[in-house]
Amino acid sequence: MAKDGEKSGWKEFIWNPRTREFLGRTASSWGLILLFYLVFYIFLAGLFALTMYVMLQTLDDHKPTWQDRLATPGMVIRPKADETFEIVYDTKNTETWDMYPFILDKFLAPYNNSIQAQKNDECTPDQYFVQEDSGDVKNNPKRSCQFNRTILGSCSGFSDRFYGYPDGKPCIIIKMNRVIGMLPGKNGEAPYVTCGAKREDTDKIGELVYFPPNGTFNLMYYPYYGKKAQVNYSQPLVAVKFLNITRNEDVNIECKINANNIPTGSERDKFAGRVSFKLRINSDK
């Protein structure tokens, strides 16, 4: 009997036909609760939408309102077949090096002289290409300076379509990461790249040649105004050609940016402004 009473009590709690209550509340009570939460969540959604709208009014489509700009931009190399930053191949085995010219060809294709002449301007070298806005009138899209592939000399892929790899004189392309508004160098001194072997491999690196001469990033490619404002921007490049690196041994190399207003390394990132990689060229002695 007790079990029947409990069962009956549960049934009446779920639906009481005498008072017409569902789960202890009448239809009007449930209606008022649902109406309250409906109005409450509509209010929250409206408040969120209003907050987002106000915030978006403070943003510029072409330039970030706030940016945690790094004091030192990062650097990357090409070719980079994987994430290990190692270039290892055998001059006698085409399959070990033929991917590197392919990667460089693909990477340098946008720098072909004909494409650059079509999209970008011939700028005055050795000075910043500043394009200021006129008050609230945006000077967009902003123009960009030509960086012609031929500037890279024997590392352009024109005079040597294999970029020196089968001869054991490989080319490495270096670029500096984009930072909006950065003006590298001051007093007319352009930033430049230097590469050298790490301490244990100093006597293995041999002679290097830089393209453009002295490994310079010309000032006319700065400042960078952002992907939307400067649609056709072409990052300047530096090519390094290793002429007589020691064969059949690992050579650990570090390239870094040098500028009178860009520090290299920091407490947060000791590799800021530099890139390290291993180069090993195997061949018959």
CA separation, residue 162 to residues 78, 98, 147 (Å): 14, 8, 21
Topology (CATH level 3) of domain 75-282:
Immunoglobulin-like (2.60.40)
Q: What is the pLDDT of residue 174?
A: 95
pLDDT in tens, 139-190: 778 899 999 999 999 999 999 999 999 999 999 999 998 888 888 887 888 9
Determine the Cα–Cα distance for residues 82 and 226; give it in Å rounded to an integer.
Answer: 28
Average the pLDDT over 6-34 and give the result: 72
State the average pLDDT for the chain. Answer: 86
- Give the max Cα distance, the chain: 102
- The domain locations on the chain are 9-54, 75-282
SS3 of residue 258 by DSSP: strand
Phi/psi of residue 144, nearest 5 degrees: -130, 155
> Which of 12-21, 36-45, 120-129 is the least confident region?
12-21
**Interatomic CA distance for residues 107 and 44, integer angstroms:** 49
Of 2-6, 52-56, 140-144, 206-210, which gets the smallest average pLDDT? 2-6
Query: What share of the chain in percent tops pLDDT 90?
Result: 58
Q: What does pTM read for this prediction?
A: 0.77
Segment 81-107, tens digit of pLDDT: 667 789 999 999 999 999 999 999 999
In this structure, the chain runs to a length of 285
DSSP readout, 137-168? B---SPP-B---GGGGGGGSSSS-TTTTTTTT
